[in-house]
Amino acid sequence: MRHNLSDTTALIRDRRSISPENYSSRKVHQEIVEQVLVNATWAPTHGMTQPWRFKAFVGDGMKQIGPKLSEWYRMAAGESFSQQKFDKLVRRGEHVTALVVLGLVPDENGRIRIEDERMAVAAAAQNMYLTCTAHGIGGFWSTPKFMQLSAVKSFVGLPENGEVLGFFYMGYPEEGAWPKSHRKPLEYVTEWTTTAE
Ligand SMILES: Cc1cc2nc3c(=O)[nH]c(=O)nc-3n(C[C@H](O)[C@H](O)[C@H](O)COP(=O)(O)O)c2cc1C
């Protein structure tokens, strides 16, 4: 065994999505976000294209993106606009101390399918989640409709052929707010083949 399996399993199973509404006022510092992002870059990447691009907003940097969240929501919501959701995003933008916009820039010579580039970024997000968990930080990967606005893409400086794949919030949960979860037993999601016929 190269690593302690019970620690690894415990980390994977303890990983949770914890929404910003459950974060305390404790700040997430830049050094931690940096560790989270370095680990993100160790995700698998087809053809070593390393398509992930991170736009990290920390501390006072949040003042730039925080107020945009509700604004973008309003731009994208159209008929389905909800004042409650808008207000929630206003509060979220004021409360959160670290947010990474998950971006993608595809391989420039098109060697790798876009689906594979997206999967690589998703794997990077899982590394972010796990590193957050090790720190006792709650991560939250959110993929609102408004992430597809071209205003968002240009705000974070992604090129025309780039994509925004979500917003990854980070925060220390309030005491006792680390949720439990469950998964379907393996037999629901697995078919085994163990013989030759
Ligand atoms: C690609 C992706 C996008 C997600 N987007 C959202 C989202 O927009 N809003 C949300 O509440 N949760 C979002 N989640 C988090 C899921 O709700 C969460 O993973 C699920 O409830 C299982 O909980 P757990 O992550 O704590 O195990 C997303 C998860 C993934 C993998």
Top mutation candidate among 21, 92, 130, 142 for ligand 1, by most atoms within 8 Å of CB: 142
143 lines ligand 1 (CB under 6 A): yes
Beta bridge partners of 164: 103
**Rounded to the nearest whole angstrom, what is the distance from the C-alpha of residue 60 to the centroid of ligand 1?**
26
Residue 193 maps to a domain: no
CATH number for the domain spanning 45: value is 3.40.109.10
| b/e burial code for range 43-62 (CB count within 10 A of at least 16 → b) | bebeeebebbbbbbbbeeeb
Q: Residue 72: which residues within 8 A CB-CB, separation 6 or more?
A: 146, 149, 151, 152
Total count of domains within the chain: 1
Please give the structure tokens belonging to residue 98.
């670290």
- Is ligand 1 within 6 A of the CB of residue 181? yes
> pLDDT digit of tens for each residue in the chain (197 aa)?
999 999 999 999 999 999 999 999 999 999 999 999 999 999 999 999 999 999 999 999 999 999 999 999 999 999 999 999 999 999 999 999 999 999 999 999 989 999 999 999 999 999 999 999 999 999 999 999 999 999 999 999 999 999 999 999 999 999 998 999 999 999 999 999 999 98
Instruction: Answer yes or no: are the C-beta atoms of 133 and 11 closer than 8 Å.
Output: yes
Please report whether residue 2 resides in a domain.
no
Pull the structure tokens for residue 48.
């070593």
68 with 62: CB under 8 angstroms? no
> Has residue 167 been placed in a domain?
yes
- Is 177 part of a structural domain of the chain? yes
Atom of ligand 1 nearest to the CA of 19: 11
- Is 177 in contact with 22 (CB distance < 8 Å)? yes
Rounded distance from Cα 183 to ligand 1 centre (Å):
14
Range of the domain at 18: 12-188
56 belongs to a structural domain: yes
Domain annotation covers residue 173: yes
For residue 16, the SS3 value is coil
